[in-house]
Amino acid sequence: MNNNNLFCRHLEETLWEIHANNSITSIPVYISLPKYYNELNEKQIISQALQMKNINKEIMDIIRENISFVFILDGFDEIFDKYDKNNNNNNERYFYNRFNLNEWNAKIIVTCRSYVLNDEDIKNALLGSKNITSMIYLWPFSKDQINGYIDKFVKMNKKNKINDNQDWTIQQYKETLNNFPNLNKMMEEPFLLRMILTVLPSLMKQHPIGTKISKSQVYEAFNQQWIDIHVKNISNKLSELRIQTNIKKIKFAFQQYCQNLGFEICN
């Protein structure tokens, strides 16, 4: 989950709260473009997403005619390569037209990491020829926001067991982070902040105080922790079924999967 994902989920939740208080009538709907985009059927992306949210085809027309929405289309940058290569739309590039969004009574929010698309792509695919789409940039976390996030993370960790250190206090996290000052810049990004907090106890064991920990080392630690957790869960479930397991083989399979996935994303 990147910064856009976090922002979009928070936005959807906030809009739902406002909707529940009857302050707005539009219904917010979060749609992950990487999950729902199909280059063979672009025009139906909204209908397909709503069907996946258990809205029947039979009432789709009624909904389209009688309900207003706020569609939050997340992750345009992640589908852009497929989107850009799709030539089934008579050279139309503007996402609003390609996705047939004029069929819906809706306001549209689409997220995209700005550095993935060049200026020309942004202009043609996201802004359109009439240039009526507004652009907003997400600012990095402030110090107060970072502290607030740490507070929430500690509470979430106690409840959901994000890592094995549920006994760590807010103060412990803050003091440990102070011992690795080069992480400060990374922590301005919500996605990286969550990742750093998740693996901070293990990073502390691996690196002496004051070590300059790189972003790749954070990713590596997070990946390793993710693998260890899932291998442990699978091993426990198989043991309950009295099935013999080879933890090393399971771990290797996970590592291979992550490596292949990384190559696939990069290529």
Domain holding 206, by residue range, is 141-213
The CA-based dihedral angle spanning residues 25, 95, 97, 62, taken in that order and rounded to the nearest 10 degrees: -30
**pLDDT for the residue numbered 130:** 75
Counting residues of the chain whose pLDDT is more than 90, the rounded percentage is: 25
> Mean pLDDT throughout 57-74?
88
Confidence of residue 266 (pLDDT cuts 50, 70, 90): very low
**pLDDT for the residue numbered 258:** 74
Confidence of residue 98 (pLDDT cuts 50, 70, 90): very high
Contact 90, 53 (CB under 8 A): no
37 CB neighbour count, 10 Å cutoff = 23
**pLDDT for the residue numbered 137:** 80
**pLDDT for the residue numbered 116:** 83
3-class secondary structure per residue, the chain: CCHHHHHHHHHHHHHHHHHHCCCCCCEEEEEEHHHHCCCCCHHHHHHHHHHHCCCCHHHHHHHHHHCCEEEEEECHHHHHHHHHHCCCCCCCCCHHHHCCHHHCCEEEEECCCCCCCCHHHHHHHHHCCCCCCCCCCCCCCCHHHHHHHHHHHHHHHHHHCCCCCCCCCHHHHHHHHHCCCCHHHHCCCHHHHHHHHHHHHHHHHHCCCCCCCCHHHHHHHHHHHHHHHHHHHHHHHHHHCCCCCCHHHHHHHHHHHHHHHHHHHHC
Please identify, among 95, 127, 159, the residue that sits at the C-terminal boundary of a domain: 127
- Say if 133 falls within a structural domain: no
Counting residues of the chain whose pLDDT is more than 70, the rounded percentage is: 91
Does residue 267 have a pLDDT over 50? no
Q: Are residues 92 and 167 in the same domain?
A: no
Does residue 259 have a pLDDT over 80? no
- Say if 134 falls within a structural domain: no
Looking at the whole model, is its pTM more than 0.85?
no
Q: Are residues 115 and 42 in the same domain?
A: yes
The torsion angles phi and psi of 138, rounded to 5 degrees, stand at -85, 130
Enumerate residues 6+ apart whose C-beta is below 8 A from 129.
94
Q: How far apart are CA 121 and CA 97, in angstroms?
A: 15
> Mean pLDDT throughout 112-139?
82
**pLDDT for the residue numbered 3:** 53
Q: Are residues 193 and 226 in the same domain?
A: no
Q: Are residues 105 and 157 in the same domain?
A: no
Lowest mean pLDDT among 8-12, 71-75, 142-146: 8-12
Number of compact structural domains in the chain: 3
Mean pLDDT of the chain: 84
Tens of pLDDT, residue by residue over 211-255, are: 999 988 998 888 888 888 888 888 888 888 888 778 888 888 877
Q: Are residues 167 and 239 in the same domain?
A: no
**pLDDT for the residue numbered 69:** 93
Q: Are residues 234 and 201 in the same domain?
A: no
Please identify, among 93, 127, 161, the residue that sits at the C-terminal boundary of a domain: 127
Q: Are residues 60 and 82 in the same domain?
A: yes
**pLDDT for the residue numbered 262:** 62
